[in-house]
Amino acid sequence: MITKRMVFALLALLAFLASFASAQPIASSNVAEFSVVRDRLYYPAGGSFKLLFRLDIADKWHTQSHDPSMKSLIATEVKLKPSKGVVFGRIVYPPGIDEKFDYFETPLSTYKGVTFIGVSGTVDSSLKQGPHTAQVELIIQACNDKTCLPPSTLKSTINFRVVAEGTKINFENRALFKSNKALFSFNTNDLSSNGDIKTLLQSSGFMLTFAFVFLGGLALNLTPCVYPLIPITVSYFGGQENSTKGKLVLNAFMYLLGIATMYSTLGVLAAITGDMFGSLLQHSAVIILLAMIMVCLGLSMFGLYEIRFPSFIIESGSKSKDGIFASLFMGLTAGIVAAPCVGPFVLGLLTFVSEQGDPVLGFTLFFTLAMGLGMPFVLLAIFSGSLATLPKSGEWMLWIRHVFGFVLIGMAFYFLAPLISNTIYWICLSVFMVIAGIFLGWISRVEVATSGFKFFRKTFGLLVVTIGVFFLSFAQADLKIGISWEEATIESVEEAKLSGRPVILDFSADWCLPCKELDHFTFTNSEVIRLSKRFLTYKVDLTSSNNAEAEALKKEFGVLGVPTIVFIDKNGNVLKPISFVGFIDAKELLKKMAIVLG
């Protein structure tokens, strides 16, 4: 029985064969034109860009969409030729237009008239300044309501000029790119979203831009990277005594000012130098300094001494300035701790600031971002500081100060973790917790204590001791089975690109809390482990800046924060649209892995 599908296939075959019989064969290229639309005239080295590929189809003709209704039909497809120093992201096609034809029983997904296809890309910072080109091809098959022409490959050249990093550039075709913004849709888990944040910043008004950046800072509080700030804030302000409500609020805002100043300074430095955001925590000297600050603050909670600023600073204003300067200093310290808080939004802001080349604008934007990040900690500081004003605080406040003192000293262990082995870290932390529990439960006393408080104190001490003993189980090698990683080198990554297998690169560091979250919760998922065996999996350790191989790979892949997970397909192409920064759960990771595997 002859069906409509068979008739359609026969017509297409006859048209294809007829083209060879004609002296001047009619091809799809006769009814379609292909051109490239750029978003800028110059491309800064190390910057990103966007392109639109324009397909003009003659009246009464159409092509199949990129996702045709039948697998046997020729899909419209863009192919980008590899170009040294230029990395292209995922090509984004518009949805097809369903149209019914007499020769086929179901509607076909087509492109008609003018169609735009989008792609984002980046220029390597090492690419020489001057003119460059990249080649692009478009495969189509044009049809009308009666016949289909033979497929054609339309070719075009992308001409661009590379200029120095930081050069201010003028954008072109703003209206056209804005109307096609769906082709560059923002996804909070995609590295490719950097350009979309930049486009929003460039096209928004002054007030809207800063409001958007402030909200982005607030959103950072939903990520695990801010967890270390919670005990630091609670311990510092909870241990303060004799603070009036007004002074407490002022100190809380000075703490916020310190966070914002340090965070924004590091952000601008990262954008200007191209170094990794939060890279201060790579240096052992900084880690040891942070640990010493935590220990000094912790010991002061036991009344061993009182931390005061030099007299010339205090005498420059009223006596109350001592607490204000101390809060500012703590905020500056907390700003370093917050520096690893990196996500797609922060990366987009870093890229935008680096391309603008304006340190003042960069500092202002990152200061606004940090104000959003730190605002919840103002409320936490005020709440923690209010503990000292509770009724009868003298009976138990000394004990509370001891609790906060131990918390601050415990944070010192947290910061020192990258410098010591995993086994020693857990043994030291376990012993510390046991000592803290015994001291808080039975040694630390108050002059006047009710029977209820005595019971609470001993129960609390026993709980801390129990946790300390439990931590001893972590002193052994981590028994959780996860993804099997190999240490990445430049040579091994290059070989992996040529292996014909997809690759996962995990850029991480020991001081990175979200990295640990990925290791313990996402990479240990049984389905993730099963699927990972179809990949080549490499880990790039950025704990120390002394690792030349890791630093080279960080530069090659443009890593500005950890954790960064980079996917490479079986053809050796970096898949920026599905690579991501920050923590994601196993469900989201499985979706990305499935896309890579096709």
Q: Output the 3-class SS for 546-589.
A: CCHHHHHHHHHCCCCCCCEEEEECCCCCECCCCCEECCCCHHHH
Q: Specify burial of residue 90 (Cβ count, 10 A radius: 0-12, 13-18, 19+).
A: middle
| Rounded Cα–Cα distance for residues 438 and 317 (Å) | 43
Q: Dihedral of CA 577/583/589/593: which sign?
A: positive
DSSP, collapsed to helix, strand or coil, labels residue 506 as strand
Q: Give me the pLDDT at residue 193, please.
A: 43
Kindly write down the DSSP assignment for every residue of 21-33, as one continuous string.
Answer: HSSS---GGGGEE
- Residue 508 is which amino acid? S
| Rounded Cα–Cα distance for residues 565 and 548 (Å) | 19
User: Residue 348 — φ and ψ, nearest 5°?
Assistant: -60, -40
Q: Give me the pLDDT at residue 11, please.
A: 46
Task: Give ∠ CA 482-483-485 in degrees, rounded to 5.
Answer: 125
Per the DSSP assignment, residues forming a β-bridge with 171 are: 40
| Rounded Cα–Cα distance for residues 259 and 367 (Å) | 9
Q: Which regions in the chain score pLDDT beneath 70?
A: 1-26, 71, 103, 166, 185-206, 241-243, 307-322, 355-357, 387-396, 446-449, 475-480
Predicted structure pTM score? 0.61
**Nearest CA to 559 among 508, 513, 511, 512?**
508
Q: Give me the pLDDT at residue 511, please.
A: 78
CA dist 182 → 185, 240, 501, 525 (Å): 5, 52, 31, 33
DSSP, collapsed to helix, strand or coil, labels residue 222 as helix
DSSP, collapsed to helix, strand or coil, labels residue 180 as coil
Structural contact between residues 456 and 504, judged by C-beta atoms closer than 8 angstroms: no
Q: Give me the pLDDT at residue 22, please.
A: 40
Q: Give me the pLDDT at residue 272, please.
A: 79
- Residue 208 is which amino acid? L
Q: Give me the pLDDT at residue 313, please.
A: 47
């888990």: which residue's tokens?
189
- Residue 422 is which amino acid? N
Q: Give me the pLDDT at residue 19, please.
A: 43
Dump pLDDT digits (tens) for 355-403: 666 788 889 989 999 999 999 999 998 888 776 665 555 556 788 889 9
Q: Give me the pLDDT at residue 432, please.
A: 95
**Nearest CA to 189 among 586, 577, 590, 597?**
577
Q: Give me the pLDDT at residue 410, please.
A: 92
Kindly write down the DSSP assignment for every residue of 30-46, as one continuous string.
Answer: GGEEEEEEESBSEEETT
**Nearest CA to 122 among 184, 230, 49, 73?**
49
Domains annotated on the chain, with CATH: 4-181 (2.60.40.1250), 208-392 (no CATH), 486-597 (3.40.30.10)
Q: Specify burial of residue 318 (Cβ count, 10 A radius: 0-12, 13-18, 19+).
A: exposed
> Tokens representing 27?
């091809």
Compute, in degrees rounded to 10, the torsion defined by CA atoms 328, 333, 336, 342: -60
Q: Give me the pLDDT at residue 325, please.
A: 86
